Amino acid sequence: MLSWACYTANQGSKTVRNFDPELAEIRFGYGLSPLYDAPKNVARMLDGLTGPDDMQRAFPIEPFVKFRARMVEVQRQNAIRRKNRGTELAAAARKQRNVINQEARVAMFDWLGQTMLRRVHTQTALRERIVAFWADHFTARGKRGVIRRGTSPYIEDAIRPFITGRFDDLLQAAVMHPLMLDYLDQTRSMGPASFRALKRGPKKAAGLNENLAREVLELHTLGVDGPYTQEDVTQLAELFTGLSFDARNGFKFRKDFAEPGSETVLGVDYGEEATVKSVRAALRDLAAHPSTARHLASKLAVHFVSDTPDPALVDALEAAYVDHDGQLMAMYDVLLNHPSSWERSVSNFKLPIDFVSSALRALAIPKDAFADRDEKWIRRFFGAPLAHMGQTWERPIGPDGWDEDDVAWITPQGVAARVSWSMAVPVRMIEPLPDPRAFAELALGSFANEAVRFAASAAESRPEAIGVVLMSPAFQRR
């Protein structure tokens, strides 16, 4: 197996015959911008993934290690409240806990603004798209209390730093992260023969929880049609017992919860002693499985190119994963150099937040556009409209993330919400609005056909004309 450094050194300079800078921004980024030039070639796009993370610095989002301080303080206030029930001290602690929860909610919507500004002002848009792709692949959100607001910090810690490495490192970072453990109820999973279960006795012991094990096999690695059985799910769930966290220290392994004895997953035995090392070994093996390569290849092709991608592209992505030991950059290289990735027909319907982000990018919203805006304003112009379009901010329906199928988003309510946002919100974002005919050219480039140009020039008002461009099929798809 080659390392990524060896791989890139051996590639030489490849030229994509039908590379299109405009299509690169539309299909693999967040659309054209009047502020930033489109990438000149594939090499520039790949370099943008490994270069300095300018957007993370320019538009910071709280890392989870800092977010945990909020959780620690909530626990402290809850302890004060329990110890002093019925007193003024308890009432004050309850009030302070509520303040912390409110601050976390406000921060959560601030991070929505920061996420969109990263997309608006990035000169390496593929990086933001890749982060969003893996964040969706490893969908996680907190269940209750302040941790419900921790998705963006989770992405900063468990996803963003790992997008250019090997998949098994990304897999371990996401699966063993406190937010994922909370989301899939892993902290309550107890081995039936564990020390803690035996001490509690059969009437009080918590049971084995298979949620995390099932999603790791079905969603994160092998795929829903992967070669695993219910027994593999149970065995992996037993292997995972002990994975836990606390607010003060983050991830921890609870040996008293861990099921003793060996577990066998997909025919591989993981030893007699329950340890983190055994868990990591199982995740590495799952990452290396051929079915994982196929599953990830299919997801990448569908997400970036088409709901029905060229089978040859999927095959090439799969081969890149296998041949280069799960190096994700090798897959991105194949994705960007495959001929089918550069077909001019734009087919994938943008998800709501991608549509809004690309609209703001085309409008060249300033970097400080949200600096003086409060949570109510962000919720009004972004949070609520996204929910009406069908994509509530950081509240996916299930652990499989947001639907990739276009028909899930082309609904009467969803399209109506896009129309409403397109006609009413841009005028609130920037003044004066650009000339509609010029905007059509800036937003769509050579994808702006005569019908779009005519509709923009014939609209009764400038806000309506801008809305017409944003709602055109060429802008809605990539």
Tens-place pLDDT, residues 401-450:
999 999 999 999 999 999 999 999 999 999 899 999 999 999 999 999 99
Asked if residue 260 has a cis previous peptide bond (ω within 30° of 0), the answer is no
Q: Cα–Cα distance between 47 and 37 in angstroms, integer? A: 15
Chain-centroid distance of CA 298 in Å reads 17
CB 42 within 8 A of CB 336: yes
Whole-number Å distance between alpha carbons of 304 and 27: 7
Q: What is the pLDDT of residue 12?
A: 42
Q: Residues 264-280: pLDDT tens digits?
A: 999 999 988 889 999 99
* Residue 347: per-residue pLDDT: 85
From 417, 425, 359, 428, select the one nearest 392 (Cα to Cα): 417
205 pLDDT tier (thresholds 50, 70, 90): low
Residue pair 20/38 in contact (Cβ under 8 Å)? The answer is no
pLDDT average, residue stretch 143-155: 96
Token digits of residue 396: 């996916």
Tell me what pLDDT residue 201 has.
Answer: 82
Q: What is the mean pLDDT of the chain?
A: 94
Reported as a pLDDT band with limits 50, 70 and 90, residue 400 is very high
Domain layout of the chain by residue ranges: 4-179+289-342, 184-288, 352-476
Query: Does 10 have pLDDT greater than 80?
Result: no
**Rounded distance, CA 442 to CA 475, Å?**
11
Using alpha carbons, list the distances in angstroms from residue 195 to 131, 258, 264, 315, 440: 40, 8, 21, 47, 66
CA distance 84 to 79: 9
HSE-CB at 71 with a 13 A cutoff on CA atoms is 23
Residue 282's closest CA among 328, 222, 198? 222
Encoded amino acid at 116, one letter: M
Lowest mean pLDDT among 22-36, 108-122, 184-198: 184-198
CA nearest to 396, candidates 75, 136, 84: 136
For 305, the token pair is 């190119």
